[in-house]
Amino acid sequence: MSPQGTQPRRILIADDDPVSRRLLQSFLEKWGYDVVPAADGEIALRLLEKESAPTLAILDWMMPKKNGLEVCARVRERPGRAYVYIILLTARTRKDDLLQGLESGADDYLTKPFHAAELRARLQVGLRILELQTGLIQAREELLFRATHDELTGLVNRRVIIEAIAREHSRNIRHGGTFAVIVLDLDHFKSVNDTHGHLAGDAVLKEVARRMAVGLRPYDTVGRYGGEEFVIVAPSCDREGASRLVERILTMIRSKPVDAADCSVAVTASCGISISHPGKSLDARALMRLADEALYRAKDNGRNRAEFAVEPELIQSG
């Protein structure tokens, strides 16, 4: 049976004594662990530096090439990698030696000859700690996602969009090139909520977000700016490229009605587009203001269309 009733956990064991290594491996496999053996410290370190490294390890203190302390210290130097819970096996019993082992980065130690039941109990402690850490990491990632994404559509939120525009503006100043800011607003969205209810409105927003995400380039950023308004930041995109991109998005949005809350809703959208050029690089506030003004003109000119900002500094020569 696997430890704590889970799927088999991978564990690395490093010991240069083949008899001791096979004995330890037999115990661990009996307890449901998937064992990765290593005959010396150098092999152990190489295995622990892989992306798919086990998160549990039992290291003998005295090994050729690299001893257990050296392996511990090297593993702890790795930034941003999954934590490895390490147990040192040692014949040393002096308190100073054991403290040295823990200071090198080991989480626990066991003196030889070890008692199988004690090793199993210590491994279960290690598993609980790893599970707690995984839970904390997942909670942190969830909080980060909620802080940067819109809950309904899953797109990035207003703050991230502004940061994306500022990032492109900074790159534009350093390296030149162009980029586009596109403000997209669903047409007559209030009537969707009024006629079909807010559940239908939510379904429309989610489906429109999905269609936009499918139609964009991998390096474009799309987010929900508020209500039924979305913003797209398109790097390396001039007037012609922005026109093609927007037409593709609008076509996908109106391609077929959205099935929502026992009804079918036809959806269209209007867009305003502003472009930042070399030598006329505009900040996030200016680009958003100009794109908003263009959006209002698209609405006034019949909706279901796109308009470019008309300020002289945004019109390409020729």
Query: What digits encode the pLDDT tens for the residues 229-244?
Result: 999 999 999 999 999 9
Average pLDDT over residues 103-120: 82
The residue among 148, 180, 196 that closes a domain is 148
**pLDDT of residue 194 exceeding 50:** yes
**pLDDT of residue 8 exceeding 50:** yes
Same domain for 215 and 143: no
Same domain for 35 and 173: no
- CATH number of the domain within which 103 lies: 3.40.50.2300
pLDDT band at 298 (very low <50, low <70, confident <90, very high): very high
H helix or E strand, kind and range, residue 59: strand 56-60
Q: Which of 48-52, 94-98, 249-253 has the lowest mean pLDDT?
A: 94-98
**pLDDT of residue 10 exceeding 80:** yes
Same domain for 119 and 213: no
**Helix (H, G, I), strand (E, B), or coil: what is residue 252?**
helix
Q: Is 9 left (phi over 0), alpha (psi -120 to 50) or beta?
A: beta
CA distance 252 to 303: 16
Query: How much is the pLDDT for 154?
Result: 93
- CATH number of the domain within which 274 lies: 3.30.70.270
Query: How much is the pLDDT for 201?
Result: 93
Closest CA to 4 of 139, 94, 132: 132
Query: How much is the pLDDT for 97?
Result: 64
How many CB atoms are located within 10 Å of the residue 262 CB?
9
Average pLDDT over residues 71-92: 82
* Active-site residue set: 228
With respect to residue 153, please indicate whether it lies within any of the assigned structural domains.
no
Query: Over the chain, what is the mean pLDDT?
Result: 86
pLDDT band at 1 (very low <50, low <70, confident <90, very high): very low
> Position of tokens 């609405």?
299
Average pLDDT over residues 239-265: 92
The residue among 116, 148, 180 that closes a domain is 148
**pLDDT of residue 112 exceeding 90:** no
Same domain for 64 and 212: no
E strand spans, 201-289? 221-226, 229-235, 258-260, 263-265, 269-276
How many CB atoms are located within 10 Å of the residue 22 CB?
12
With respect to residue 184, please indicate whether it lies within any of the assigned structural domains.
yes
The residue among 103, 122, 148 that closes a domain is 148
Same domain for 171 and 129: no
Same domain for 233 and 93: no
**pLDDT of residue 210 exceeding 60:** yes
Highest mean pLDDT among 8-22, 39-53, 141-155, 219-233: 219-233
- Domain holding 280, by residue range, is 158-314
Same domain for 57 and 191: no
